[in-house]
């Protein structure tokens, strides 16, 4: 009897931690909407909150009447008083293919060794008539929630190696495509039109640039600078959700009228195929767009070919074309000023004209200057500045004209005309400079341009004599240097000689070191690894002070880069081609697979992934933990002799 009581007490004590864990685990399932039309998407989110980080992928029941797709997960982990708490969201897309009222039975999730289940969810799918057929219940046969099959109860099978999938064209896969578009179908000659490229994807996608540039013969081209971080938005196309991003914009100015077919070229992208893991640190958020993905990512390259674009370029109208028109198209204004209004006879006066506005500013030419009685006229300087604001090309262009009055008295520079065609108003517009009056004083010396001097040389700057470089030789010797001064100079020269000798020795040692390093790149990287790591630590300490989400993300990106650089340099791994698997193999080889530092490093890499792709915020305490692991790694690896 006593033995039974003791056994009962021991069993109760052993079960206490498990009971406490069960009380802290919460599993829920939610739909973004409960009533949809046939063929529309439903988004299912399964959320698991638990202090246990061993959270297995959910097991969805077989759902007749629905197609289901796994779309990724997001994770958040916090450390409070040494206790870690994790929250994981598993996301799925359900597409109904049969109208009716359906009940999604409880979804099983395994946390540690304990199974949990969600509450059942009811969904109504309406047909074309808007009526809902009788209720249908989904079967309970479990299937894998990840892209790979399950074995046993909630245990994912490791993915086997698969041969690369063939490159699919746009017509074979409607989950990713690119659209090239013109903002106008018909324009006038030299009128701006915008060519933009928008990428639509349902995959985790990285934009690689143009494989083949667009064919734009017959156009003046100006590229718009794109943001370093490409903006994206979620849109619906044909009832499906896509991530849309504008990846390129360029302004085109047609140089001649006619019908054009623009070949938009080919864009190169890569999509990620990544295995699903049971660890909470693996792949916190799989919807990364235009990023590098994680180290386990397998990427597949694809070429996307937008459809050709048709454009009609109309000639500029002949009716109403002013004589001062020289081909400018857009909206412009002109301003002008004189450098002075009172001069002497035969002295130059400079007129500066500035044309600014929207349009192809580079092709604008100087307004025509008529023949003026009593003036000699010369072209001087021309300058331009281009602006790209929003989707509009514009800028300023300045012209300088030099006038030399030949007669005294009052002289006038008449208004100069600049004409352009306004495509919005579809008419010609003429703007003018003011009428300038100049007071010319009489000069006794007449002005004449020598025949041997070109006109441009007339306005070059004159060179004046500032000093002479020939000095007379002193016939007398200067006074001798006093004795004390001479001794001080002598001692200074001796010290200088010693310093120069030390510099030469240092240069010799440096040169010898560079010679050795040039023959052994791995040795050079090992020797410099610690110094580079300490420099990166200083930068990380500055980044760690930021408490914003963007600052935290930047900190963990820099931490991951610095850690990878140090390990790669220390063990002579490729910095750019190294993968997470390479790092794990190197850690297992030098430290051992079960070494605590190896596990901490892997968890730190996964925490860096979470900061880039996760929806949750990383606590400030995680930065200190990451810095400590980085410092411990440097200290430990420096003690290992290679």
pLDDT at residue 485, rounded to an integer = 78
pLDDT band of 130, cuts 50, 70, 90 = low
Beta bridge partners of 314: 188
- The secondary structure of 507-568 as a DSSP string is HHHHHHHHHHHHH-HHHHHHHHHHHHHHHHHHHHHHHTT--SHHHHHHHHHHHHHHHHHHHH
Cα–Cα distance, 157 to 244 (Å, whole number): 34
Helix (H) or strand (E) holding 619, with range, is: none
Q: Output the CA–CA distances (angstroms, integers) from residue 562 to 242, 565, 575, in the order listed.
A: 34, 5, 10
pLDDT at residue 304, rounded to an integer = 93
Q: Report the mean per-residue pLDDT for the chain.
A: 77
pLDDT at 182 over 80: yes
CB neighbours (10 Å) of residue 177?
A: 19
Helix (H) or strand (E) holding 464, with range, is: none
CATH of 176-313, one of 2.60.120, 1.10.3470, 2.60.40, 2.20.25: 2.60.40
> In this prediction, what percent of the chain has a pLDDT beyond 90?
24
Question: What's domain 323-459's architecture?
Answer: Sandwich (2.60)
Domains 21-156 and 176-313 share a fold: yes
pLDDT at residue 171, rounded to an integer = 41
Asked whether the beta carbons of 132 and 123 are under 8 A apart, the reply is: no
Q: Using one digit for the tens of pLDDT, what is the confidence trace for 458-508?
A: 554 444 455 555 555 555 555 566 667 778 888 888 899 999 999 999 888
Question: SS3 for 470?
Answer: coil
Q: Using one digit for the tens of pLDDT, what is the confidence trace for 513-523?
A: 777 766 667 77
Cα–Cα distance, 448 to 102 (Å, whole number): 100
Asked whether the beta carbons of 305 and 177 are under 8 A apart, the reply is: no
CATH of 521-639, one of 1.10.3710, 1.20.1050, 1.20.272, 1.20.120: 1.20.120
Q: Using one digit for the tens of pLDDT, what is the confidence trace for 85-96?
A: 667 888 888 888
**CATH 2.60.40.10 is the classification of domain 21-156:** yes
Domain boundaries, the chain: 21-156, 176-313, 323-459, 521-639
Beta bridge partners of 69: 93
Cα–Cα distance, 215 to 580 (Å, whole number): 41
Taking phi over 0 as left and psi of -120 to 50 as alpha, with beta for the rest, 227 belongs to beta
pLDDT at 223 over 90: no
> Could you tell me how many helices (H) and strands (E) the chain has, helices first?
7, 34
Q: Using one digit for the tens of pLDDT, what is the confidence trace for 133-143?
A: 555 444 443 33
Q: Using one digit for the tens of pLDDT, what is the confidence trace for 535-566?
A: 888 888 888 888 787 888 888 888 888 888 88
Query: Between 148 and 233, where is the model more confident?
Result: 233
- Tokens for 288? 């990364």
Q: Using one digit for the tens of pLDDT, what is the confidence trace for 521-533?
A: 777 787 888 888 8
Q: Using one digit for the tens of pLDDT, what is the confidence trace for 588-620?
A: 888 877 788 888 888 888 888 777 665 556 677
Longest dimension (CA), the chain: 138
Beta bridge partners of 396: 356, 385
Residue 634 gets which letter from DSSP?
H
pTM of the model: 0.45
pLDDT band of 208, cuts 50, 70, 90 = confident
- The secondary structure of 260-276 as a DSSP string is EEEB--EEEEEEEE---
């Amino acid at each position: 009897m006593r033995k039974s009581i003791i056994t009962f007490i021991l069993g109760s004590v052993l079960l206490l931690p498990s009971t406490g864990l069960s009380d802290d685990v919460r599993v829920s399932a939610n739909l973004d909407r409960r009533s949809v039309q046939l063929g529309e998407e439903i988004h299912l989110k399964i959320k698991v909150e638990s202090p246990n980080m061993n959270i297995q992928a959910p097991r969805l029941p077989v759902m007749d009447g629905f197609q289901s797709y796994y779309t990724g997960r997001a994770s958040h982990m916090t450390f409070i008083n040494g206790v870690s708490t994790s929250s994981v969201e598993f996301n799925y897309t359900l597409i109904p293919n049969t109208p009716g009222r359906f009940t999604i039975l409880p979804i099983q999730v395994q946390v540690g060794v304990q199974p949990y289940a969600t509450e059942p969810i009811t969904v109504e799918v309406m047909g074309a008539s808007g009526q809902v057929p009788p209720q249908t219940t989904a079967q309970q046969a479990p299937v894998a929630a990840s892209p790979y099959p399950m074995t046993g109860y909630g245990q994912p099978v490791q993915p086997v190696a698969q041969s690369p999938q063939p490159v699919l064209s746009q017509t074979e896969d409607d989950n990713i495509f690119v659209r090239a578009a013109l903002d106008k179908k018909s324009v006038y000659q030299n009128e701006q039109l915008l060519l933009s490229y928008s990428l639509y994807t349902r995959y985790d996608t990285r934009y690689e640039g143009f494989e083949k540039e667009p064919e734009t013969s017959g156009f003046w081209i100006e590229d718009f600078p794109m943001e370093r971080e490409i903006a994206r938005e979620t849109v619906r196309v044909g009832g499906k959700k896509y991530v849309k991003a504008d990846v390129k914009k360029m302004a085109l100015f047609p140089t001649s009228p006619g019908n054009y077919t623009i070949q938009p070229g080919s864009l190169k992208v890569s999509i990620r195929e990544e295995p699903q893991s049971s660890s909470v640190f693996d792949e916190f958020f799989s919807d990364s767009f235009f990023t590098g993905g994680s180290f386990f990512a397998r990427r597949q390259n694809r070429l996307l070919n937008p459809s050709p674009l048709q454009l009609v370029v109309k000639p500029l109208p002949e009716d109403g074309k002013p004589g001062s028109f020289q081909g400018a198209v857009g909206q412009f204004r002109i301003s002008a000023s004189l450098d002075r209004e009172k001069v002497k006879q035969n002295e130059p006066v400079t007129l500066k004209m500035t044309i600014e506005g929207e349009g192809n500013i580079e092709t604008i030419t100087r307004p025509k200057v008529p023949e003026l009685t009593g003036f000699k006229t010369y072209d001087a300087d021309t300058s331009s500045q281009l602006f790209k604001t929003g989707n509009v090309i514009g800028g300023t262009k300045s012209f300088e004209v030099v006038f030399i009055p030949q007669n005294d008295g009052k002289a006038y520079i008449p208004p100069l005309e600049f004409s352009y065609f306004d495509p919005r108003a579809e008419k010609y517009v003429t703007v003018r400079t003011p009428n300038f009056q100049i007071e010319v004083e009489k000069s006794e010396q007449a002005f004449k341009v020598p025949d041997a001097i070109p006109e441009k040389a007339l306005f070059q700057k004159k060179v004046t004599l500032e000093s002479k470089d020939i000095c007379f030789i002193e016939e007398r010797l200067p006074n001798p240097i006093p004795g004390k001064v001479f001794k001080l100079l002598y001692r200074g020269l001796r010290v200088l000689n010693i310093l120069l000798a030390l510099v030469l020795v240092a240069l010799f040692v440096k040169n010898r070191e560079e010679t050795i390093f040039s023959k052994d790149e791995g040795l050079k990287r090992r020797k410099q690894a610690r110094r580079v790591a300490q420099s990166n630590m200083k930068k990380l300490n500055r980044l760690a002070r930021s408490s914003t989400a963007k600052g935290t993300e930047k900190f963990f990106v820099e931490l991951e880069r610095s850690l990878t650089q140090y390990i790669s340099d220390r063990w002579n791994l490729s910095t750019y081609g190294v993968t997470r698997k390479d790092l794990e193999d190197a850690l297992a080889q030098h430290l051992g697979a079960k070494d605590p530092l190896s596990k901490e490093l892997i968890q730190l890499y996964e925490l860096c992934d979470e900061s880039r792709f996760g929806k949750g915020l990383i606590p400030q305490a995680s930065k200190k933990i990451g810095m400590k692991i980085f410092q411990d790694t440097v200290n430990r690896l420096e003690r290992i002799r290679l």
